[in-house]
Amino acid sequence: MSTSLQPADSATRVAQHRRYLMCAPRHFTVSYTINPWMEPRNPTDTAKAMEQWQTLYDTYVALGHDVELIDPVEGLPDMVYTANGGFVVDGRALGVRFRVDERRGEERPFMDWFARNGFEVVEPVSVQEGEGDFLLVGDTILAGTGFRSASDSHREVAEVFGREVVSLRLVDPRFYHLDTAISVLDPVEGPSTLSGTGGVEKANIAYLPGAFDEASRAILRERYPDAIEVSDADGAVFGLNSASDGYNVFISPRATGFEQQLRDRGYNPVLIDLSELLLGGGGIKCCTLELRGK
């Protein structure tokens, strides 16, 4: 863990414009179990899911971000989790090839949406679940495996995007996608966007050490010495399933320790409660796919 609460760059955080893809949870329910959070016997409240989701949408828009929408499809209750719809970098969209049969019906609608909206679509060969398991940190792609995405997909994503890919193994079934265990705080690496500082801000992450095997933990410690390590309690409320624009970090209000850690580093935590969508095993990040243009 970092010993300094105020790294030199903490005063220079600037919100960067984002473009996201979301899908209204109009058909949201829990009718099957494909992760430990899902219990079909527990009732779900679709109206409440819609309301909570709308708050996330409105908050992104109010902060100046662009949010695109894909039409929800009846019978695909998990389509609200758009992070799994693909992985989009440099205007190129790698489609999703779900491990779980229950979600395979989403593959075509997402690829069609990318094509209609001017993205170059790459049809996937290996099993992988999009931005649920691929996270762009600076120029590097962190790629998760262990539960959903197959490790061959890591080679495929490296070829498709021509970037360094670092494989990480998830070991706790509650954190079955990489975006439930790592939060990318500064997605853009390079010169600071604030003039006058002359500094270079490196992309940083927050993560839950217990979600990874020992080899992956060692990689994370080495590559991100300033990372925020979150507590098990904050991880367990999906605190890491968050989006960031480099200044505003959209997190669950239950992740109170993480909230304070973010403040200490000069970020602005924005609290959004998606408790209803957590019944499907997803949170803020799961409902947010980043669309990165050329």
What's the closest the beta carbon of residue 196 comes to ligand ARG, in angstroms?
38
Selection from 78, 101, 61, 86 nearest residue 26 by Cα: 78
Phi then psi dihedrals of residue 268, to 5 deg:
-115, 100
Figure out which of the listed residues 44, 52, 84, 204 binds ligand ARG, where binding follows CB under 6 A.
Answer: 84
| 203 CA to centre of own chain | 15
What is the torsional sign of CA 137, 36, 68, 15?
Answer: negative
Q: Are strands 19-22 and 66-69 parallel, antiparallel or unpaired?
A: parallel
| 142 CA to centre of own chain | 11
**The residue to which tokens 């992740």 are assigned:** 255
What's the closest the beta carbon of residue 84 comes to ligand ARG, in angstroms?
5
Give the residue with the Cβ less far from ligand ARG, 13 or 142.
142
What's the closest the beta carbon of residue 10 comes to ligand ARG, in angstroms?
28
What's the closest the beta carbon of residue 104 comes to ligand ARG, in angstroms?
11
Give the residue with the Cβ less far from ligand ARG, 240 or 265.
240
CA-CA distance, 180 to 237, in Å (whole number)?
Answer: 10
Q: Residues 6 or more apart from 218 whose CB is under 8 A from it?
A: none
Q: Is 27 known to be catalytic?
A: no
CA-CA distance, 238 to 163, in Å (whole number)?
Answer: 28
Stretch 23-62 residues interacting with ligand ARG (CB under 6 A): 34-35, 38
CA-CA distance, 39 to 53, in Å (whole number)?
Answer: 20
Between 176 and 215, how does the x/- string for binding to ligand ARG read (CB under 6 A)?
A: -x-xx-----------------------------------
Q: Residues 6 or more apart from 251 whose CB is under 8 A from it?
A: 183, 239, 242, 258, 259, 262, 269, 270, 271, 272, 284
Figure out which of the listed residues 23, 49, 56, 83 binds ligand ARG, where binding follows CB under 6 A.
Answer: 83
Q: Does 132 bind ligand ARG (CB under 6 A)?
A: yes
Between 89 and 108, how does the x/- string for binding to ligand ARG read (CB under 6 A)?
A: -----------x--x-----
Give the residue with the Cβ less far from ligand ARG, 265 or 285.
285
Residue of 23, 65, 154, 177 with catalytic role:
177
Q: Is 286 known to be catalytic?
A: yes
CA-CA distance, 181 to 16, in Å (whole number)?
Answer: 23
Stretch 253-282 residues interacting with ligand ARG (CB under 6 A): 280-282
Q: Does 216 bind ligand ARG (CB under 6 A)?
A: no
What's the closest the beta carbon of residue 106 comes to ligand ARG, in angstroms?
10
Give the residue with the Cβ less far from ligand ARG, 132 or 246.
132
Q: Does 286 bind ligand ARG (CB under 6 A)?
A: yes
CA-CA distance, 49 to 106, in Å (whole number)?
Answer: 19
Q: Does 78 bind ligand ARG (CB under 6 A)?
A: yes
Would you name the residues annotated as active-site residues?
Answer: 177, 286
- What residue ranges bind ligand ARG (CB under 6 A)? 34-35, 38, 78, 81, 83-84, 100, 103, 132, 177, 179-180, 280-282, 286
